[in-house]
Structure formats: structure tokens, C-alpha cells
Amino acid sequence: MIVARTVAELRAALRDRRDGAIGLVPTMGALHEGHATLLRAARQADDTVVMSIFVNPTQFNEQSDLAAYPRTEEADLALAQAAGVDVVFAPDAAEVYPPGFATTVSVTGPIAETLEGAERGRAHFDGVATVVTKLLLAALPDHAYFGAKDAQQVAVIRRLVADLGLPVSLVVCPTSRDDDGLARSSRNTRLSPDERARALAIPRALQEMTDAAAAGIVDAEALRARGTATLEASGIRPEYVALVDPETFAPVAEIAGPVLVAIAARVGATRLIDNTVIGGA
Ligand code: PAF
């Protein structure tokens, strides 16, 4: 396994591999089983698997969150090796944002400005869009792999890939969950045992909303109220419980087709997100 620290090293590592398919799994490190799922999907589909590790400072709206973000490169490299990754791209901040850096890729509209964009601020998805564009241009993969847990991030990246005509196919893998249903996240390690138990109200709320919709409740506000009540019963006040169009992120009033149900909530000091799609065919 090659560890490339610069774009030049990455391109040199990939130069002779372009006859086959290249898959890129972008990460911020602190790898867990959710990342392993993406790596397995890439390993199955692609001849060469590239994984990036870069804790992107521009997408953090809180300095304390950036400072607290786990950095576990040694363990990450071991996991990558075990997952059959061919090339790890692990640049430092100066390689990604050299002095004088002045370009931002900014997706506009509800996709980027509602929910996470509203809670975390405009800069969050600008940071994601800019760094993902740079990673895609650095590796020029055939496929790039993302998790469905970050549904809005996926929608933003889908938009920029289409708008900029980037030659890559996005592969979205289902949310990876622990046995008790909690969506896997690098942030879960910050939960105390009590917070972790209370956090289960998030997947429970999603399941209850799914069941209610399947039982025929089509009014989005009624479903939202049900999910919110489940969270509040566990002492969790959500930042949002939203029912939106999965592609445009426009709010929906009625379930008349696939609807993305998205939740963001702080459990203690830890901010968690999760989602599911209801009303599909
Ligand atoms: O989902 C993540 O880990 C990050 O947002 C990403 C896509 C690697 C960009 O920094």
C-alpha cells in the first residue's frame, strides 16, 4: 500500500493504473466499520482503490469540533491495509490549501442552504464542495464512494459533479449501523454510555415515522410531530426533524412518493445526524 502525501505522489502512484477502474473513498480518517463498508464496495468494483484521509478544516463550523475530531492515522492505515486499499492519499493542510488559496466551490439553493446548511452555516457545504472537488481532480477516479448517512452532502456532491461535468460516477452505500441501530459515526466515540443509550431514540424515531407512513399517515407535520415526541421522550431536543424531497431538499407537506426524513440532534455535546427514505415505491 502506497501512502501519498502530495498530489504529485498520488498522480505518480496512479499513472500506470488507469487502464483499470479507479475507486476513491474520501474520508476524514477515524475510520470505523462504516468506512470499511465503503472500502469493501470499492474493492469489489474497482481495480485500484484509493482512500483519502484529510480532516478538512474549512467544513467545520466550530473550532472546538475541529480540535476534538479524532485523528488516528496509524490505526486508519492499518484498517486501509486490511481492507485492501492500494493507495492512501493523506495530504497536510498546506498541500490542499496552499498559501494564496482563494477559490471556493459553492453549491447554491435548498440543497446546500437548508438543514445542515442552515444549522452549520453556508461555509460547511462550501468547505465540503471545495475539498471534494479537489480530491476528485487529484485522483480522477472512475467511481467515488459516499455513505447515505450524509444524504445532504451526497446531494451537494451530486450537484457539483453534474454542474462541473466531472467525469466520475458516485456510488452511495447504505448507512452502516451498529447492532442496536445507531448509525456509525466517528463522533459516536464521544458519547458517554448514558448518551449512547439515549441516542438510540434517533433511529427509533426514524423507524416509528417509517411505520406510521406505512400505516397510511401521509401528513408530513403529523409524522414530524411523532418523531419529535420520540426524541423528546429521551431528553433529546432535535435541531431538526425534516421531511424533504430527496433530490431538491424542498420541504414536503404530504407523502406522495419517496421522501427523505432527516434528523439532527445534539446528545450531550455530540451532534449526530441520521436519515431514512419513506414512501418509496
Ligand atoms: O464525509 C466526510 O468524511 C467528509 O465530509 C468528506 C466527504 C471526506 C469531505 O471532507
For ligand 1, atom 3, which residue shows the shortest CA distance?
27
96 lines ligand 1 (CB under 6 A): no
Give the pLDDT of residue 49: 99
For ligand 1, atom 8, which residue shows the shortest CA distance?
27
Instruction: Tell me the C-alpha to C-alpha distance, in Å, between residue 271 and each of 66, 87, 221, 267.
Output: 13, 31, 24, 6
For ligand 1, atom 1, which residue shows the shortest CA distance?
27
Residue of 32, 35, 124, 143 with catalytic role: 35
Give the pLDDT of residue 97: 98
Give the pLDDT of residue 281: 61
Asked if 155 and 235 touch (Cβ cutoff 8 Å), the reply is no
Q: How far apart are the first and last CA of the chain?
A: 43
- Of 185, 39, 58, 220, the residue nearest 123 (C-alpha): 58
Between CA 87 and CA 77 the distance in angstroms is 10
135 lines ligand 1 (CB under 6 A): no
Give the pLDDT of residue 224: 98
Q: How does pLDDT run along the chain (281 residues), one tens digit per residue?
A: 999 999 999 999 999 999 999 999 999 999 999 999 999 999 999 999 999 999 999 999 899 989 989 999 999 999 999 999 999 999 999 999 999 999 999 999 999 999 999 999 999 999 999 999 999 999 999 999 999 999 999 999 999 999 999 999 999 999 999 999 999 999 999 999 999 999 999 999 999 999 999 999 999 999 999 999 999 999 999 999 999 999 999 999 999 999 999 999 999 999 999 999 999 76
Q: Domain limits of the chain?
A: 2-173, 186-276
Asked if 154 and 173 touch (Cβ cutoff 8 Å), the reply is no
CA 131, 133, 135: angle at the middle one, nearest 5?
Answer: 70
Considering the four listed CATH numbers 3.30.465.10, 3.40.50.620, 3.40.50.720, 3.40.605.10, the one that applies to the domain covering 2-173 is 3.40.50.620
144 lines ligand 1 (CB under 6 A): no
From the alpha carbon of 56, which atom of ligand 1 is closest? 10
pTM value is 0.96
Q: What is the helix (H) or strand (E) element at residue 209, kind and residue range?
A: helix 201-214
Topology annotation, domain 186-276:
Pantoate--beta-alanine Ligase; Chain: A,domain 2 (3.30.1300)
Is 143 catalytic? The answer is no
- Of 253, 278, 254, 147, the residue nearest 262 (C-alpha): 278
Between CA 1 and CA 36 the distance in angstroms is 16
From 38, 89, 128, mutation site for ligand 1 pocket: most ligand atoms within 8 A of C-beta: 128
Q: Which amino acid type is present at position 24?
A: L
150 lines ligand 1 (CB under 6 A): yes
152 lines ligand 1 (CB under 6 A): no
From the alpha carbon of 59, which atom of ligand 1 is closest? 10
